Amino acid sequence: ARSRFGAGGPFLYGEFSAADAMYAPVATRIDRYRLPVSAEARAYVDAILAHPAFEAWMAEAAREPWRLGYYEEGQTPDEIIVPDPEVMA
């Protein structure tokens, strides 16, 4: 999409669009997991992470009062809460 339609800005279709909102979780994982990507892909990830809507989304997520230990960064194995499959069914 970028090579064909993205000449007008740093996002998939140039300007920020719903397509970029859909890829925000992917961009987050690329960044958080430090996945190796091309310089062009890294520039796209950085554009997503710097977008005001993304920053607001992350700020709201940080204000959530509940935490799932098995998703939290820096948890040690003895701190991880494993969900009970009986409860999850």
Task: List, as one string, the DSSP characters of 42-53.
Answer: HHHHHHHHHSHH
Q: Which residues contact 79 (CB under 8 A, 6 or more apart)?
A: 69
Asked if residue 24 lies in contact with residue 57, where contact means CB atoms within 8 angstroms, the answer is yes
pLDDT tops 70 at residue 78: no
- Average pLDDT of span 42-60: 93
Is the pLDDT higher at 48 or at 1?
A: 48
Return the pLDDT at 42: 95
